[in-house]
Structure 1
Amino acid sequence: MNILINDSTLRDGQHAVKHQLTVAQLRDYATAVDKTGVAIVEVGHGNGLGASSYQVGRAALSDETMLTTVRESLRNSKMGVFMLPGWGVIADLSKALSCGAEVVRIGTHCTEATLAERHLGWLRERGAEAHAVLMMSHMATPVQLAAQAELLVGYGAQAVGIMDSAGNLLPQDVTARIAAMRLQVDVPLIFHAHNNLGMAVANSVAAAEAGATVIDGCACGFGAGAGNTQLEVLIPVLARLEFDTGIDLYQFLDAAELVARELMVTPPMIDSMGIVSGLAGVFSGFKNPVLNHAGTAGIDPRDVFFELGRRQVVAGQEDIIVEVVAQMKRASM
């Protein structure tokens, strides 16, 4: 079976450096990964088009600069972008297409597929390749996810899938979700893992074995929180299982070494915050703001993560971190 790799290094990896990747870093990695056979190179602010802001972090570069830089560096791979309705708007999609984006992925919370209807319809009217993903997929059952996927296909999505945004799922959880979606829709299925509990490669393999044909990951696992699926590990593992990614391993190992050398401040690791985030079912991108606010207030950030999990917060609700920390501070006085 063929597996398309969607490389999120230049998008999800932005979380790990507070969205501060430079033009030179974007260009160097895009040039290197373009030689590997990777199908899609995703680029942008960690939270997607239009997301650069005080609340989730201002990027060093505008969306237009990021996209133009990478587009000029790609000869073989398609350029992909990601957008969350609310952070981004139709104008951002229009700008992305004008900058040469070839694959546009719309993300929604796992039970809110209806939010993508307008954006997917707009993309399909313009002939763009439109994908859609259901985020925080541990918060919905396989049956619920399958029903949401069917809606997304009805809106025009040409590929649909799930993100384990909190790194909470185990392989059997992934298998059940992808299998249920496979029975419900007849388009390529996408899987995107985070590594909070050390399951990213195993979960990605489970997704492929259950029928997913578009698998996300990052070089060196460079991504939010504990990181994403480490592509230079996943690619040979898939090859051993007789999945064909079309990727030159040596070339990708070279690209990964470039990431380790030039893009990373520190390698992603499964630290105590990553583990707690995964157990609590909280979006991995909350790590830095939780640490910042909890540290200033003298509150144990692990307690903050578990309270955020109890409240079932999702990406875009970073303001609740401030509220939770303030309440814990008052309670401790």
Structure 2
Amino acid sequence: MNSPERPRILLHDPTLRDGHHAVGHQLDTDQLRAYATAANAAKVPVVEVGHGNGLGASSLQIGRARLDDATMLTTVRAALTSSRMGVFMAPGWGTSGDLTAAVRHGADIVRIAAHCTEADVTERHLGVVRDLGAEAQGVLLMSHMAGPGELAEQCALMVEFGAQAVGIMDSAGHYLPADVTERVQAIVAAVDVPVIFHGHNNLGLAVANSLAAVDAGASVIDATARGFGAGAGNTQLEVLVAVLERRGMDTGIGLREILAAADVADDRLMKGPPVTDSIAVVSGLAGVFSGFKRPVLEIARTEGVDPLDLFLALGERQVVAGQEDLIGEVARRLKTTSR
């Protein structure tokens, strides 16, 4: 039985969405089905699926997915008999029509995402999700770019718009545990809905940061199998389940089964688990979106510049997801100034 001090922690698994960044959004139906089946067997509460940047995001600018949204959703929905299915959408990439289609294809939870200072853009779409009868959640991207007070205000605004859970994504893997504690505590004090934390492992702190979020009052934590995700990857799901179990916390996930699901992910989804390499460390320190790793490496090679310098320059420009076209521009400026 859960004690009042140790509430149940709901783990939200975006392996089949955030993991898409690591493979150029090229997972096929067999891969989606295999992991969804394993996660369902482990009783993972929520399995999120889609293009790495969410509904409607497949494009030349940020990468075309192998499968369209409808195919991804129907494939995963058919494999989930106990787990709920989640989707993610950022206004500007996805539309109300995408939301309607996603719910029609069985999405139970819909996350509407916005840059950390722009929660106002979520109002319409959070309302659409509520009208469709799905659970509406709001998340703030690149949250290290705003302080605790502003994040709390932005989250409270999303609750006013109808969000039934709100929280922050450490999109660049920039946080230290103390940063997470300060921000999550401020958000928890400002809202009366569950608080979400989504970590990335650029500085090797994703599990520690997720535990800090739990201790600060977050009750919905994102994590992926083997950490499969953008850049250095996400909080590692099977490790987090084991750590929370050791702390006496209840996730409802079977440890043996989630270890087996992680093996499926390792075998079927990825060439190798994400690593905290030199690029990841610099990306985290610079506060640059983890999903930029692949395009930064490609453009740095083409332009003949050091990818570490390119990440630092992008950090100085405070470039965010959706501004991939600036990577080439910044690289060319670096090339010119280094002559």
Query: In 2, distance between residues paired with 1:284 and 1:11?
Result: 14
Query: In 2, distance between residues paired with 1:209 and 1:215?
Result: 12
Among candidates 220, 229, 238, match of residue 226 of structure 2: 220
Spell out the pairing of 1:182-261 with structure 2 (5 A cutoff). Answer: 182-261=188-267
Among candidates 63, 66, 82, match of residue 76 of structure 1: 82
Spell out the pairing of 1:107-256 with structure 2 (5 A cutoff). Answer: 107-256=113-262
Whether 2:105 is the aligned partner of 1:99: answer: yes
Q: Which amino acid aligns with 2:89?
A: M
State TM-score, norm by structure 2: 0.97
Cα deviation 1:93-150 (Å, max 9, x = unaligned): 1110111000000110000000100100111122220001011111100000000011
Cα deviation 1:202-228 (Å, max 9, x = unaligned): 000000111111100100000000000
How many residues end up aligned between the 2 structures?
333
Q: Which amino acid aligns with 1:225?
A: G
Secondary structure, aligned partner of 2:85: strand
Alignment partner, residue 13 of structure 1: 19
Alignment partner, residue 49 of structure 2: 43
Alignment partner, residue 282 of structure 2: 276
Q: Which amino acid aligns with 1:125?
A: D
Unaligned ranges ≥5, structure 2? 1-6
Among candidates 11, 14, 32, match of residue 26 of structure 1: 32
Query: In 2, distance between residues paired with 1:84 and 1:27?
Result: 25
RMSD: 0.7
Cα deviation 1:81-102 (Å, max 9, x = unaligned): 0001101111111110111000
Q: Matched residues, percent identical? A: 63
Q: Which amino acid aligns with 1:64?
A: A
Query: In 1, distance between residues paired with 2:176 and 2:248?
Result: 22
Among candidates 295, 298, 303, match of residue 289 of structure 1: 295
Alignment partner, residue 298 of structure 1: 304
Query: In 1, distance between residues paired with 2:301 and 2:73?
Result: 35
Query: In 2, distance between residues paired with 1:267 and 1:5?
Result: 20
> Runs (4+) of structure 1 moved beyond 4 Å?
none
Secondary structure, aligned partner of 1:11: helix
- CA drift of 1:72 comes to 0.5
Query: In 1, distance between residues paired with 2:73 and 2:43?
Result: 20
Query: In 1, distance between residues paired with 2:310 and 2:101?
Result: 37
State TM-score, norm by structure 1: 0.99
- CA drift of 1:330 comes to 2.1
Secondary structure, aligned partner of 2:321: coil
Cα contact 2:100–2:132 (8 A) shared by 1: no
Spell out the pairing of 1:46-61 with structure 2 (5 A cutoff). Answer: 46-61=52-67
- CA drift of 1:331 comes to 2.2
Cα deviation 1:151-172 (Å, max 9, x = unaligned): 0000000000000000000001
Query: In 1, distance between residues paired with 2:139 and 2:249?
Result: 23
